[in-house]
Amino acid sequence: MKTSNPVLARLGQAAERERSAGYAPPGQYGYGQPGIPQQHPGQPGYPVAPAAGTMTIDDVVVKTVALLGILGVSAAAAWVLVPDSLIYTAWIGAAIVGVVLGLIISFSRIANPALVVAYAVVEGAFVGLVSKAYETAYEGIVLQAVVATFGVFFVMAMLYKAKVIRATPKFVKGMIAVMAGLFAVMLINFVLAVFFDINTGLRDGSPLAIGFSLVCIVVASLSFVLSFKEVEDGVRMGLPQRYSWTAAFGIVVSLVWLYLELLRLISYFQGDD
């Protein structure tokens, strides 16, 4: 099955290689079916099957919930254990490590559950520290952002299921280009702000900052469509079960990004009192 997602295509190739490690049980790939000559292991052309179970939507749901649970525990631990005097330093460190792990996972040719779990732990610490800082400044803002985040997620899930929004090849390519551009802008802004103390106006509550956050929120919301499409294609391609961790990782990344952008946007309208 063809897919417009280059990462998924690589995973599909890896899954195809894995199929060469096992044999098909009766009833699969035509073996053992009426009217089809039966073959036996070792014979030329004998069909092969995955060495492990294939990925399902239920697998992705379970892994996503598990990662969110790990992320939540890590966030709570960071909130409680990291002293206020070290929040900023730990915040920056967790952000850098999280970006590095995220890039490794995204461009890896294999599914690595250990790396995905490590990302959830590190990103949880980052989210917890950011949330604590915002909650200290604006009481109740974290709950508002969490509710809004999952509200958007479920709306996008319903729109995708109803086929109101479809992940066409043009949509996928456009989204990848836009997300890459936004990531580059945010990375440059981060470096300028942290290491050179330069304010670009993208994160200071100005009209420009509000507009930029709105763009990020729209793109983060639409990124769920890519994740849903990735899950569907992965199931159809028969990827091994462990690749459900990679699919769950994509959903968690979008949720975290959307949450942080909503948190920031809400803070712009809280006022100084």
Quick: pLDDT tens for 66-75. Answer: 999 999 999 9
Mean pLDDT over each residue of the chain, to the nearest integer: 83
Q: Where does residue 137 rank: exposed (0-12), middle (13-18), buried (19+ CB within 10 A)? A: exposed
CB neighbours of residue 214 within 10 Å: 12
Rounded Cα gap, residues 103 and 179, in angstroms: 13
Rounded Cα gap, residues 126 and 99, in angstroms: 11
Give per-residue pLDDT as tens, 140-184.
999 999 999 999 999 999 999 999 998 999 999 999 999 999 999
Give per-residue pLDDT as tens, 182-225.
999 998 998 898 788 888 888 888 999 999 999 999 999 999 99
Contact 234, 243 (CB under 8 A): yes
pTM confidence score: 0.80
Give per-residue pLDDT as tens, 220-265.
999 999 999 999 999 998 889 889 999 999 999 999 999 999 999 9
Task: Look at the alpha carbons of 27, 31, 37, 41 in this order and tell me if their dihedral is positive or negative.
Answer: negative
Give per-residue pLDDT as tens, 27-62.
333 333 444 444 444 444 444 444 458 899 999 999
